[in-house]
Chain A
Amino acid sequence: MAAEVAIDITKTFPGRAPISAVLNYPLQQATALVLFGPSGSGKTTVLRCIAGLEWPERGHIRFISRTWLDTRAGIHVAPQLRQIGYMAQDYALFPTYTVAGNIAYGLTALSAAERKKRVDELTDLFQLRGFESASPRELSGGQQQRVALARAVAPRPQLLLLDEPLSALDVPTRMQLRGELRTLLKRLAVPSMIVTHDWAETLTLGDVVAVMGEGQVLQVGPPQDVFCRPVNAEVAQIVGVETVIEGHVVEESNGLATVRVNGTLLKGLGGYEIGSPVFVCIRAEDVVLEQSGTGLTSARNHLNGKVSEIVPHGVMVHVKIDCGFPLMAMVTRGAQEELRIELGSPVVAVIKAGAVHLVPRN
């Protein structure tokens, strides 16, 4: 049987629209699936159902060859028996245990010596040396997150479930840990499911993304595909970033990075190492179109291109521009007429460096 995750569940909470999620995807060794969507879209509920903490009233959950839930056959495997690592949004560290005690908590099946060895291993891997006998409350947010993750992976789970793993952190720490978390997940070689409402986290962490809205899985696919080619307007609106393209940092000075995308150079914010691969993310609404380059503006990016597609969208028009890479822009109908934007007509796309978001991608 092919390694696969198959989920089809319905869960209703009183007074709320039912959550019915259908989600199938193949699983390689350490595939990270990101459940992405706005708050209230049911991501956390789906994750909790997979953990066995919520009981859906209908459906099935299969993980590789094991059935965790099948309401028709009356199968409901308890969370204790699913061999999962689950990390709640606020980490849920045990206040009555030390850092080492928290990490060792799930290792009840091991002998004392083996347990100590495993805890040592993890305190090294998660850079928690020196904090073994600290109480969780004495730690910073980033350290608490690492303890929670170490505790979750300690019993060597088959699947890691992370609910908003970075949202409890302040912004600088979050940016820093985003990349670290991806490296760590790959190093642990354990498949994971990650809930987030942050598109940058989705792009950094996900191998597969499932976009959720109003209790349903709307689209499943590689992050770049889903972001650039949303299947419908709802997904497009949730994602909100119309251009996602791979590039490499070629120059960096004072927090301003120059990125090469298919031969075109773009300036964006962020201190990244030269040569590091990034996703360049641009919202269509941040792109200003000019008829021809009159020259000086405060914006750092002026891209010459040709209009390759025009899609009306209410009072707005989505314009795809080929400027070495496909770039989506959004203008009003009035602006379209005034600028005489037609298929094939030359335009200059102007983008401020601050609107060129660079997301690291290892």
Chain B
Amino acid sequence: MNWTAIWVTCKLASLTSVALLIIGLPIAYWLTFSKWRWKFLIESIVALPLVLPPTVLGFYILVAIGPHSPLGRLYSDVVGQTLPFSFQGLLVASILYSLPFAVQPFATAFAQVDRKLIEASWTLGLSKAKTFFKLIMPLSAAGLITGAVLSFAHTLGEFGVVLMVGGNIEGVTRTISIDIYDDVQALNYGAAANTALFLLMVSYAVLLLIYAMNRKVWTVWPQK
């Protein structure tokens, strides 16, 4: 098995989950609690990666972070490197690609917090920010973990976006799914089967974790 590819993939998936916890929480909070009438415009944009072919998404990201775009130029001016076909570029792409997988469970969890509890917190003198950290976050714990784990699992299996943005550089951007593809192309079915089985087991374990955890949450707090 290609342990380098597994390492790259796990690193990418973990960093994506962490980044989405940081970026996804404010987006989900805003989507849940904003009363702006055009909110659905942003909701649709966040959900776009669910329906777009990864190649289309990958193409736009590639163009957006490329040396001819202002964003890409800014990055290369500051860091001295270019984003396309680098691990950092791949990370940016993964974050965008998995955004709905994190934001939607977050937002669902926030929306399920009883409005009266939030109001009680306000009348007790706690600011909106303190209310978020002391009340809304603990009450949404299951949703937050679900979002983080789902985006991790989704990043594990991504293929199209990686190929478009990351290319296929051993030890840098070659992920498990691309490794399997390469093995199949080289008629190396044995290696492909091993890696595929590994990915299947990891994905299944991750989903088991989410579903078992959600059950546990229910038994700890029985709904009266």
Interface residues of A (CB under 8 A from B): 51-53, 78-86, 88, 90, 92, 94-96, 105-106, 108-109, 137, 151-152, 154-155, 161
Contacts and interface: CB of A to CB of B under 8 A. Distances in A.
Contact of A151 (B119, B124, B139, B221): B124
Interface string B91-114: 000000000000000000000001
Contact of A86 (B114, B123, B127, B222): B123
B119 A88 contact: yes
Interface string B117-134: 101111111110010001
B134 A85 contact: no
Interface in B172-224: 221-222, 224
A41 B116 CA distance: 21
B119 A108 contact: no
B114 A106 contact: no
Given A51-B123, A80-B123, A96-B139, 17 more contacts: A53-B119, A53-B123, A79-B123, A80-B122, A81-B125, A83-B125, A84-B123, A86-B120, A86-B123, A88-B116, A88-B119, A90-B116, A96-B135, A137-B224, A151-B120, A155-B124, A155-B125
Contacts of B123: 51-53, 79-80, 82, 84-86, 152, 161
The 3 tightest CB contacts between A and B, nearest first, are A106-B124, A86-B123, A92-B116
A94 B117 contact: yes
A105 B134 contact: yes
B26 interface: no
Range of interface residues on B (Cβ < 8 Å): 20 to 34
B130 to A, nearest CB: 7
Nearest to B224: A137
A94 B125 contact: no
B110 to A, nearest CB: 14
Contacts of B119: 51, 53, 79, 86, 88, 92
16 contacts: A51-B123, A53-B119, A79-B119, A88-B116, A92-B116, A92-B117, A92-B120, A94-B120, A95-B221, A105-B124, A106-B124, A106-B125, A108-B126, A152-B124, A155-B125, A161-B123
Contacts, number: 64
A109 B221 CA distance: 30
Contacts of A95: 139, 221
A86 B116 CA distance: 11
Interface string B5-49: 000000000000000000000000000000000000000000000
Contacts of A88: 116, 119-120
A137 B126 contact: no
Q: Which of B119, B130, B222 counts the most A-chain CB atoms under 10 A from its CB?
A: B119
Nearest to A106: B124
Contacts of B114: 92
B148 to A, nearest CB: 19
Nearest to B130: A108
B138 interface: yes
B117 to A, nearest CB: 5
A277 to B, nearest CB: 34
Contacts of A108: 125-126, 130
Contacts of A78: 122
B218 to A, nearest CB: 13
A188 to B, nearest CB: 16
Nearest to B131: A80
A227 B124 CA distance: 35
A92 to B, nearest CB: 4
Nearest to A137: B224
Contacts of A86: 119-120, 123
Nearest to A157: B123
Contact of A105 (B116, B121, B221): B121
A137 B220 CA distance: 11
A96 B109 CA distance: 14
B125 A80 contact: yes
Nearest to B120: A92
A137 B222 CA distance: 9
B122 A79 contact: yes
A80 B123 CA distance: 5
A105 B123 CA distance: 11
Contacts of A137: 221-222, 224
Q: Which of B125, B126, B134, B222 counts the most A-chain CB atoms under 10 A from its CB?
A: B125
Contacts of A92: 114, 116-117, 119-120
Contacts of B138: 96
Interface string B141-177: 0000000000000000000000000000000000000
Contacts of A80: 122-123, 125-127
A95 B113 CA distance: 11
A106 B126 contact: yes
A1 to B, nearest CB: 25
Nearest to A81: B125
A303 B126 CA distance: 59
Contacts of A90: 116
Nearest to A101: B134
Nearest to B121: A105
Contacts of B124: 105-106, 151-152, 154-155
A152 B122 CA distance: 11
A84 B119 CA distance: 12
A154 B123 CA distance: 12
Contacts of A106: 124-126
